Amino acid sequence: MLYLRLKRLIMNKRITGFSKLPKAEKISWLANTYFSDAKATKIILEQYWNSNEKLQQLHDEFIENTITNYYLPFGVAPNFLINNQVYAIPMAIEESSVVAAASKAAKFWLDRGGFKTRVISTTKIGQVHFMYHGHFKTLERFFERVKPKLFENAKPLTKNMEARGGGILDIALQDKTKDLKGYYQLHATFETLDAMGANFINSCLEQFAETLKKESLAFDDFSSNDEEIQIVMSILSNYVPDCLVRAEVSCKVEDLNEDEGISPQDFANKFIQAVKIAEIEPYRAVTHNKGIMNGIDAVVLATGNDFRAVEAGVHAYACRNGQYTSLSHAKVENGIFTFWIDVPLALGTVGGLTNLHPLVKLALELLQKPSAKELMQIVAVAGLAQNFAALRSLITTGIQQGHMKMHLMNILNQFKANDTEKKTLTEHFKTHTVTHNAVIEALEKLRL
């Protein structure tokens, strides 16, 4: 009986050739199959389609099976002084208080010397994973012979990148058999300049794999089936611990006080303790770093970069020593408070969406058309600013006071407050604590 019900369910909702249907037919099928009323179609067709047909077509062609657009707020955090230049940083994010917190931190440090940054390194990684069960010394001899051909055969792919100063930096043979029997890899390092470089790296790796396989078949010392190289896969790594940037702020301890109801020395001490807790307690470190990523992801997304790759690489970096820990650090030495972050960021300012999405172009123009290295520094600053703002709230007023005030408008919109109600309650909650229940009660009282 259950089997028959499941079979009917599959038959009712199964579709063949969905990707080939015109958009209108895709929407019609979804509406008839999954939605209970006409509102869904109206939302898709009327509220989020772009009236500019060319722009809508551009959005449609970014991915497959597009039915509409999904919008996120695009905000700006001004007053960022970074290496003696002033920036207004674009942020694409839906979470309340992120842009406000970044802006507040930027303003705080604007008169205290601003943010100082430097790129530590920009090396990116790609690997050819393969299996080999013969003698390692034989494989080593083969690798030394084939290594020049790996570079040579990739020349058509690297020519343009090399002309700009980038390319393949090195290719090394890695023995991983202690972890997995017969497992080896070609571990390649790359410099991709202003491009994030995923397509470039993957193309080079696939060429390496092809050369490796072809040359192995002609290598006389591989005399048995055990000495046959079996390519498993070729792919870049989003773990980029050598594509690293540092951002920091510092000032005299006495300059930290800004009417927070706490002395500058106590503020510095509590702040450092809060960071140290995140350094040794993984449960706290995850939330601590999530706050950093609020700032980082928002700028990465606004500038058309891959925030999923950045997230994966950053969190891997946070546990590189065997335990998940804080990305940021703080200290006081000789009366100077210093707060800094080292973060791996593989970013690009050319290629991908940077040349296609109009808002990405606008975001990069707003940032004065940065190079990839400059963008790394700006993004790291956004993460550090967000972390400073969060920790400052946590050790003084608590996180909810500021967060809930920013969340107030979301609650009012949820209960369809009109403009007059919004104005009245915004004024009311300037002097009252914002909670979900308090907003509902105040709104209901106003409507009596």
Radius of gyration of the chain, Cα coordinates, nearest whole angstrom: 27
Catalytic residues: 95, 290, 306, 403
240-253 b/e with 16+ CB inside 10 Å = b?
beebbbbbbbbbeb
The token pair at 122 is 């920009």
How would you class 37 by CB atoms within 10 Å of its CB: exposed for 0-12, middle for 13-18, buried for 19 or more? exposed
Helix (H, G, I), strand (E, B) or coil at 130: strand
Residue type, 188: A
**What totals of helices (H) and strands (E) does the chain contain, helices first?**
16, 10
Spatial CB neighbours of 298, under 8 Å, sequence gap ≥ 6: 91, 92, 93, 98, 99, 382
- Report the candidate in 231, 386, 208, 212 with the shortest Cα–Cα distance to residue 294: 386
- Report the candidate in 221, 154, 212 with the shortest Cα–Cα distance to residue 186: 212
- Taking the C-alpha atoms of residue 100 and residue 95, their distance in angstroms, rounded to an integer, is 10
- Report the candidate in 175, 178, 445, 390 with the shortest Cα–Cα distance to residue 275: 390
The H-or-E segment that residue 47 falls in is none
Using the structure block, give the residue that is written with the tokens 């040349």.
355
How would you class 364 by CB atoms within 10 Å of its CB: exposed for 0-12, middle for 13-18, buried for 19 or more? buried
CB 83 within 8 A of CB 117: yes
Q: Distance of alpha carbon 358 from its chain centroid, rounded? A: 20
How would you class 181 by CB atoms within 10 Å of its CB: exposed for 0-12, middle for 13-18, buried for 19 or more? exposed
Residue type, 312: A
State the pairing for strand pair 243-252/167-175.
Answer: unpaired
Number of other residues whose CB lies within 10 A of the CB of residue 435:
14
